[in-house]
Structure 1
């Protein structure tokens, strides 16, 4: 079987629990570039067992900068980004191969199917989607984004039918811990961009986000897991706004202390 003429790039840190499944799903791609930021588990051993995979170390630079550096190492005209806890579906793999062969568009916006507590979303739940597959010379990262980094494509993008399965939210503890870290980064990013905190938003963001997640995005179809997931999502939105207030409070205190 011919390999798919596409480079896959992945940034990792202790992704050993999922990495073998991730790399198996792209074993027939031309190359896989892994940029690791200091794993102490068996990430290196797993990566080195795949002949199409090359792993190297880079101290953590932030999500967008780290992925941008991994992207620069890719040798093929087409590239695919995965995280170390994500698996490519067979449907999406076929779609990618056909897109390369047709050579008509520049990117695929790919639905991310979050496998929360070991169970994928209902097929009727509205999934988040991101550009993950694109022509290398048409895409770049916005380096100001500290988290939830996105690829900016200069060209035509269409939504893919197939999914990327995201396995990282394996427990409530892990999801809450990630959201605590991400909300720190998002609040710092907003503060640096000069965003002002809003008492109205602080009050309303949690119930509004819950309604959006549970009903509009149809997490209600995922049973009790969907309710828990929507509650955690709404608290994450609340934390981002609360921590923006905290950033401004700390800045005022620093200004007083320096005066």
Structure 2
């Protein structure tokens, strides 16, 4: 069987719990580039057991910076980005093969199916989607984005049918911890760009985001997990605005001295 002429690039840090499933899902791809930022678990041993994988160390450069460096190592015209806790679905793999063969578009916008507390979303839940598969020559990252980095594509993108399964939110503790970290980075990014916080947004953002997540994105179809996840998503939105207020407050206080 011929390998799929596409480079997969992944940035990792202690992803041993999921990495074997991740790499099994892309074992038919021509090459897999892993840029690791200091794993102390089984990440290296797992990576080195796959013949199409090349793993190397890179001190952490931020999400967009790290992925840009991994992307630069890719040798093929088509590239696919996965995180170390994500698995490519067979349906999306087939779409990728068909897209390469047809050679008519420049990217696929891929739905991300969050497997929260070990259970995938209902097929009727509205999923977040990002460009994860694209022509290397047509895509790049905005290095000013500290978190939720997106590939910017100069060309035609089409939404894919198949999913990428995201397994990292394995517990409420992990999801809350990630949101605390991400909200700090996002608030810092907004502060550095000179954005001002809003008291109206601070008051309204949490109930509005809960309604968006639970009803509009149809997380109510995921039972109690959907309710808990929507509450955490709403609190994440609140944290970003609250931390922007915090940073402005500290900045004003420091400027007095």
- Tell me the equivalent position of 2:167: 167
Any idea what the Cα deviations from partners look like across 1:90-147, whole Å, max 9, x if unmatched?
Answer: 0000000000000000000000000000000000000000000000000000111000
Q: Does 1:125 align with 2:125?
A: yes
Gaps in structure 2 of 5+ consecutive residues: none
CA distance in 2, matches of 1:117, 1:174: 10
Structure 1 residue ranges, 4+ long, deviating more than 6 angstroms after superposition: none
- 1:191 Cα offset (Å): 0.4
CA distance in 1, matches of 2:239, 2:45: 37
- 1:256 Cα offset (Å): 1.1
Question: What is the correspondence of 1:189-200 to structure 2 with a 5 Å cutoff?
Answer: 189-200=189-200
- Tell me the equivalent position of 2:58: 58
CA distance in 2, matches of 1:107, 1:39: 31
- 1:253 Cα offset (Å): 1.5
Question: What is the correspondence of 1:89-108 to structure 2 with a 5 Å cutoff?
Answer: 89-108=89-108
- 1:46 Cα offset (Å): 0.2
Gaps in structure 1 of 5+ consecutive residues: none
Give the alignment's Cα RMSD to 1 decimal: 0.3
Any idea what the Cα deviations from partners look like across 1:37-75, whole Å, max 9, x if unmatched?
Answer: 000001000000000000000000000000000000000
Any idea what the Cα deviations from partners look like across 1:165-201, whole Å, max 9, x if unmatched?
Answer: 0000000000000000000000000001110010000
Normalised by the length of structure 1, the TM-score is 0.99
Any idea what the Cα deviations from partners look like across 1:210-235, whole Å, max 9, x if unmatched?
Answer: 00000000000000000000000000
Between Structure 1 and Structure 2, how many residues are aligned?
257
Question: What is the correspondence of 1:132-147 to structure 2 with a 5 Å cutoff?
Answer: 132-147=132-147
- Tell me the equivalent position of 2:70: 70
